[in-house]
Amino acid sequence: MPKLLPPLNALRAFEATARHLSFSRAAEELNVTPAALSHQVAGLEAFLGERLFNRSARTISLTPAGDLLYPGLNAAFAQIRQSVERVMETGDGQILVVSAPPGLTAKWLVPRLHRFLAAHPELDVRVSASLMLASFAGDGVDVAIRNATGPFPGLWSRKFLEIETLPIVSPRLIEQYGPLETPDDLARFPIIHDDSLGRMFGLPTWMDWLKAAGAEHVDLSRGLHFSSADHAIEAALEGAGVLLGVRSLAIDDVRVGRLVFPLSLSLRSERSFHIVCPAGHENRPKIAAFCAWILDEAAKLGLACTDDSPPPVSEGKRGRRSVSAAGNDPSPNAPAPAARPQRRGRARQAPT
C-alpha cells in the first residue's frame, strides 16, 4: 500500500520558502500570512519527523533533510505549472484574467476596456478589482496592475502611469462657495479625504499638499472620508467637497467638464502604476496584446511614464514591436523620497 503523502499546501509552503529562503516572501507569493505559512511548514516537519530549516533571528537555511526534499518538489511544482499553462493555452487560452486596484479599475480601466475588446474580440477578459497582490501561482491571474515603486522580483514589469495628486472639485461647488483661486480659498470649502493615499507610503496627502502650497488655515479635521479612490471621486462629482485625488483617475471627468483642477500645484509621487506578470509571460500573445494596449492608452493621456526599454513582443510576432508607447524599468529598491511639487501658480481650470 502506498505511503500517505503530506498535505499539498504544506509541500507548496515548504517549496516556496526554500526557493526564497524567506518566510515573508514565500507568504506573499502564496497570498497567506507568514504565521500561516510557518504553521504549514511546521506541520510538514512533524509529518516527516525531520527539521527542514535552520532558523536564526534573521535568516533561514535548509537542513540536510531540506536539501534532500527541495530539488524534487521544485521540479514537480514547475512541471505542474507548465502542464496547467499548456492546458490553458489550448483550452481557456483565450481568457485573460486581469487584477487591478478598485480605484484604477473603476475610473480608468473600465471606461477604456471596450477598445481593447473591440481590437481583440477573440479574448474573454475577466477583471478582478482588489487591493490584494496577485500571486500568479494559484489565483489564475495572467497580468496585474500595481500601485508601487518596484522592483518586483520574479516578475516582468513596466510603469505606465505617473501618480500625481492635486485638488479636484465639481464646478457646481465653486458656484456655491465662490472662487477657488488660491490654496487659502480651500478654508471656505468642505474637504473630501481619500484615505487610501495615507495607507500607502510615498503617496502625498492633504497635509503634504497644503504644506507645499503654504496654506495654513485649512481645517483637515473635518470632511468626508473614503477608503477607496473611486468612491471619493464620486463624492466630488456630487459636489460634496474638494478632493485631493490622483490626476489620471479624474482626467476623464475633467475632460467632459464634470470636474476641474482648480489649482495648478500638484505633487508627484515616487509610486507609479505598473503592469506586471510572471517573468517570461510578457511575450505570450494575449498578455503582450494587453500590455501594448495599456501602454498606448496611457500615452494618449500624456501622463505615461517613459524609458528606453522595449514593449513586450508577442511570441507569434517576433521581430517587430507590438506598440511604440514607452514604458519602464522597475524603480530602484529604495525608500521613496518625499513627494515633490510639480507646479505652482495661480489657480486655473485644466483644459478639457
How many Cβ atoms are within 10 Å of 314's Cβ, its own excluded?
19
- Number of domains composing the chain: 3
This prediction has a pTM of 0.64
Q: Over 70: is that where the pLDDT of 310 sits?
A: no
The answer as to whether 176 is a domain residue is: yes
Task: Check whether residue 203 and residue 226 sit in a common domain.
Answer: yes
Regarding whether 78 and 16 lie in a shared domain, the answer is yes
* Cell numbers for 256: 467632459
In terms of domains, do 207 and 250 share one?
yes
Domain residue limits at 63: 8-90
- Percent share of the chain, pLDDT over 90: 62
Residue 325 has pLDDT above 50, yes or no: no
CATH code, domain with 216: 3.40.190.10
| Residues 163-187 as b or e (16 or more Cβ within 10 Å = b) | bbbbbbbbeebbeebeebeebebbe
Do residue 203 and residue 224 come from a single domain? yes
pLDDT band of 323, cuts 50, 70, 90:
very low
Q: Are residues 299 and 275 in the same domain?
A: yes
Helices then strands, each counted (H, E), the chain: 12, 11
Looking at the domain assignment, is residue 348 inside a domain?
Answer: no
Cβ-Cβ contacts under 8 Å for 88 (sequence gap 6 or more): 95
- One domain, residues 157 and 277: yes
**Would 351 be classed as within a structural domain?**
no
Task: Answer yes or no: is 1 within a domain.
Answer: no
Q: What is the pLDDT of residue 216?
A: 87
Q: How far apart are the first and last CA of the chain?
A: 74
pLDDT range class, residue 86, cuts 50, 70, 90: low
Residue-level pLDDT at 348: 33
Q: Are residues 22 and 71 in the same domain?
A: yes
> Of 58, 90, 122, which marks where a domain is finished?
90
Q: What is the pLDDT of residue 37?
A: 92
Same domain, 72 and 108: no
Give the model's pLDDT for residue 1: 52
d(CA 34, CA 24): 5
Judgement on whether residues 152 and 294 belong to the same structural domain of the protein: yes
pLDDT for 70 beyond 70 = yes
Domain boundary among 90, 115, 137: 90
Strands 124-129 and 95-100: parallel
Q: Please say if the pLDDT value at position 322 is more than 50.
A: no
30 and 75 in a common domain: yes
| Domain shared by 204 and 265, yes or no | yes
- Rounded Cα distance between 307 and 327, Å, is 6
Please state whether the peptide bond connecting residue 341 to the residue before it is cis, i.e. omega within 30 degrees of 0. no
Domain boundary among 63, 90, 117: 90
Query: Rounded to the nearest 5 degrees, what angle is found at the Cα of 101, between the Cα atoms of 98 and 107?
Result: 95
Note whether residue 347 is domain-resident: no
**Can you say whether the dihedral through the CA atoms of 346, 210, 219, 192 is positive or negative?**
positive
